[in-house]
Amino acid sequence: MAALLSPKKLLAQHMAYLYNIVLLPRLEFRLQTTLFAESTIKCMVSPMLSLIRQKASFASTTPLSALFTLLPFSIQQAFGYAKSLLLFHLFAPVRSLPMNNQVSRMSDIQLPSSVSTLYIDGSFLPISSHSLHSMAYAWTAIDSDGFILESHYNIISSLFSSALRSEIFALLHGLDSLPQNSKITVATDCAQLISLWFTYVDVPFIPRMLKESNYLLWSLARAITSQKNLEVTLIK
């Protein structure tokens, strides 16, 4: 793409638009089925970033950190974008390879078998120094007597975040904290989450799920519920 655009009489703003609207969505499409190392992603986007430097009359040695701040318009940081799509692969410290085709765990928490209900929230923002643009999620586990067993929250990358995506992360992390063979009720205020759960998770696999923007997250939800043999009921 960069080689094709280099001789064109385009402004830096035009290049940034093509980078944000054309290149990154193509990267998102590839990331639905492929995991790339940071070095690979940099190789994909560096020609376009070099062209943006050139069109903006910056030196070729201008570091990326300066490029993101000096330009009077916005360009996305590609690896952060990839992390926002594949956060569940980068969520926890590196662990040993999973055995018997088990997915790597997102959560280090192990809830007791007495847990009966998970309350999840994808719009929770803890009091901290994090950017106001950051998304976060939280969940609370209680038993049948109403006692709080555990609570957890975490921050999600602000790049391409959404309320639905953060709600899915809350659900995934909570489910991954459950013991095997749990019967759990999940309370959420997100009607879309419940609808998509019944469309993509609580049914046999359908190819249409591959077109869903959060396809990887729904695939993980299917894997967790299957491997832990969970009986999940979502309520609003």
Q: pTM to 2 decimals?
A: 0.58
Q: Which helix (H) or strand (E) holds 149?
A: strand 148-156
- 66 close to 26: Cβ distance less than 8 angstroms: no
User: Mind listing the domains of the chain with CATH numbers?
Assistant: 2-82 (no CATH), 115-235 (3.30.420.10)
- 210 close to 222: Cβ distance less than 8 angstroms: no
Nearest one of 77, 102, 81, 101 to 90, comparing CA atoms: 81
DSSP state of 74: -
Name all contacts of 202-207 with Cβ < 8 Å and 24+ positions apart. 202/232
Average confidence (pLDDT) per 10 residues, the chain, 236 residues? 72 77 72 66 78 79 68 57 47 41 68 93 59 72 92 72 83 92 93 92 82 80 90 92
Which residues lie across from 115 on neighbouring strands?
143
Given this model, what pLDDT does residue 233 score? Answer: 94
Given this model, what pLDDT does residue 95 score? Answer: 40
Rounded CA separation 21/14 (Å) = 10
